[in-house]
Amino acid sequence: MPNMVIWRSFHIPFVASSQQHGYTLDQVHPSKRFLRRVVFSSGDLSRARISHQRALVSRDAVQVAIKSAAQSLFAVLFPSDCRICRSPLTTISTLPVCGKCLAQIVPLEGLLCRLCGEKLFSSFTESEDGPLCGICRRVQPQFHRAAAYGGYAGALRELIHLFKYQGTRPAGKLLGRLLHDVVTGMALPDSLVVIPVPLWSGRRQERGFNQAEAIARAFLHFQSASSIQLETAILVRTRDTVSQTGLTRHQRRANVRGAFAVVRPEKIKGRSILIVDDVMTTGTTAGECARVLRRAGAKEVFVATVARATKEVGLGAVYREGPSLARGTSA
């Protein structure tokens, strides 16, 4: 690259005649201007660019070193273990779960019932409109469609328990994102009323919050559409329900019959509804909520949950979690 030449104009109003640094300066008329030839070498420009790039690399290296040192100091000063696998945590995070456990939370795969989302294990469940489980073949559910992110087992189940029973509130943001992933794949109407499954007042007071409502609020943070609104006071629980452990499907339906009511039907009349909950077990609770909402004038009802108890996992494992889960809001 040739040298770069720049001509700059200088105005010298008055200079007395004198000898400075080997040059003679004479008096100059104020109106006179002089042009000074300034030469920049291409090597100077290249060296400037290299110096700037080296500065950026050095800055990034310093930032990485500071972050690594901070994480190491955190692990030394505040030793903690992953709340799922109990391995030491070495990174700074508000969620006390290691990356290895989080990586085990994966979506449901394989053949799923197109109505209730149940995992299927036979190709004979296929129909003209898509796969259907045996129950949905016999009885059309009250909701239009239900879907869940993953199976209620392993790391996902433990994460829900941390949030639901141990008050690990930072887990709610992750559960909300998982719910967002579910809803994105459901191809729902643009305009929706989101309604979390309500808790009995005594249960909510005991737990301190409604996990379905908290997940729904976290889910809305990932939504950009203004036509999706959250309503937490429309659907209410009118009574507590007993544990559903060991009950038949007919007994479970009778147990939740009349346990929910709509208090402001004008707000859902002709609207599409999305019921939100943390776990769907048999779908009995979600079905009863959908029935009450449709009876109050809702156009259609969808159900989205973070987890789904599947036949592969076994409903018995869900019920063995104890009466606190069975008496909760699990759909």
Give how far Cα 321 sits from Cα of 37, 161, 205, 277, 305, Å: 86, 10, 21, 17, 18
Q: What is the pTM of this model?
A: 0.71
Q: Give the pLDDT score at 77.
A: 52
Please provide the DSSP assignment of 102-161 as one string: HTT-----S-B-TTT--B---GGG--TTS---HHHHHS--SSSEEEEEEESSHHHHHHHH
Residue 26: predicted pLDDT = 44
Angstrom distance (rounded) from CA 92 to CA 82 = 12
Q: What count of Cα atoms within 13 Å lies in the side-chain half-sphere of residue 195?
A: 32
pLDDT tens digits, one per residue of 33-76: 444 454 545 555 556 565 666 665 567 667 766 765 665 555 44
Q: Each residue of 135-183: pLDDT tens digit?
A: 999 999 999 999 999 999 999 999 999 999 988 999 999 999 999 999 9
Strand, helix or coil for residue 65: helix
Domains along the sequence of the chain with CATH: 4-40 (no CATH), 141-326 (3.40.50)
Distance CA 291, CA 20 (A): 99
In this structure, which long-range contacts are made by residues 223-230, counting pairs with CB atoms below 8 Å and at least 24 apart in sequence?
223/180, 225/190, 227/190, 227/191, 227/192, 228/191, 228/192, 228/194, 229/192, 229/193, 229/194, 230/194, 230/195, 230/196
pLDDT at 7 over 50: no
Three-class SS state of 236: strand
Q: pLDDT at position 25, please?
A: 40
* Max avg pLDDT among 71-80, 179-188, 224-233, 250-259: 179-188
The pair of structure tokens assigned to 194 is 């989101």
Helix-, strand-, coil-residue percentages of the chain, each rounded to 5 = 35, 20, 45
